[in-house]
Structure 1
């Protein structure tokens, strides 16, 4: 049996960001049968512009599309910037949604987790990310979300929080669209 490949899009570009560390923790503690791969280089994507797209799409966009097309699942790990998702994540979803109705993200099971130093843990960004991914054609797994407040210190030192993050990845990997529609 092959592993379920979960591709992770991190909404923060900072090398030592909390959400980058969450993605790395999820990767390092992935459940048996789940392979977690973090996408690097989202900062190299130009802002989506239909004039740049097509057969000669920029190499970073073409590479992202290829990686997502080859994955079984997509997980966004993102903070919240000014009450919404970071522009880098929104831009990646824009590239993945094209051509509309046929983009690499179409039909991919998709979920969102992350943390912010606010009382709400990024829930607005996570809601916006799910909405954008759904419109882009992803199969958003609504009950797989962790919006964790990071006000109380290092959440990655809390086994309960790490357990919820790993459980979210396991639920995403186990998600079957056929049973969800029944």
Structure 2
């Protein structure tokens, strides 16, 4: 069976090390996973006053999430949490009340940082996903200490052990998806 996975890159920067990580994960994904990026840069700030007249950008965003089986978050840490733009996107996907598009979708978090900042961001993100009833993969965890040259822009990984970890991590995510979707 093939599962369609929507992935979010937490940083909007074109030079994001998390974009490089996402490219590496796409490159080593098992054949049963079809990964598609879900963009969110054009979303307005969430405001519940807009729930009655949902903006077209937000409706299209929610539709893109509805068209995937699972979600993957590849995120850095900003000020000991997740980037504001990513949180805004999650808010749009979970609103209005009672129309949470993330509910029941298997999820996973991974991220790169030059230190270990992604760990704090991922912990906050897992709390949000728990509230949204999106079952998150617990193990293996993915806190990637990024160094220059580790991952090329196209996703090529210089270190064979890191490349193997990415393959193992994506295989575990595929199992997490299959287990959670079978339980529905």
User: Normalised by the size of structure 2, how large is the TM-score?
Assistant: 0.86
Deviation larger for 169-178 or 139-148? 169-178
CA RMSD of aligned residues (A): 2.1
CA distance in 2, matches of 1:116, 1:130: 18
1:167 equivalent to 2:164? Answer: no
| Structure 1 runs (4+) greater than 4 angstroms displaced | none
Which residue of 2 is the match for residue 149 of structure 1? 145
Which residue of 1 is the match for residue 43 of structure 2? 45
Say whether the 8 Å CA contact 2:94–2:132 is kept in structure 1. yes
How far the C-alpha of 1:167 sits from its partner, in A, is: 2.5
Which residue of 1 is the match for residue 6 of structure 2? 7
Aligned length: 176
Which residue of 2 is the match for residue 76 of structure 1? 73
CA distance in 2, matches of 1:97, 1:166: 30
Say whether the 8 Å CA contact 2:9–2:75 is kept in structure 1. yes
Which residue of 1 is the match for residue 82 of structure 2? 85
CA distance in 1, matches of 2:21, 2:76: 11
How far the C-alpha of 1:34 sits from its partner, in A, is: 1.0
How far the C-alpha of 1:16 sits from its partner, in A, is: 2.4
Instruction: Provide the secondary structure at the position in 2 that maps to 1:111.
Output: strand
1:60 equivalent to 2:79? Answer: no
Distance 1:101 1:173, change over 3 A: farther
Distance 1:143 1:99, change over 3 A: farther
Which residue of 2 is the match for residue 106 of structure 1? 103
Residues 99-122 of structure 1, C-alpha deviations (whole Å, 9 max, x = no match): 33431101100110110111x251
Identify the match of residue 97 of structure 1 among 94, 100, 105.
94
Q: Which has the higher contact order (CA 8 A, sep 6+)?
A: 2
Deviation larger for 85-94 or 95-104? 95-104
Say whether the 8 Å CA contact 1:6–1:173 is kept in structure 2. no
Q: Which runs of 5+ in 1 are unaligned?
A: none
Which residue of 1 is the match for residue 128 of structure 2? 132
CA distance in 1, matches of 2:182, 2:50: 39
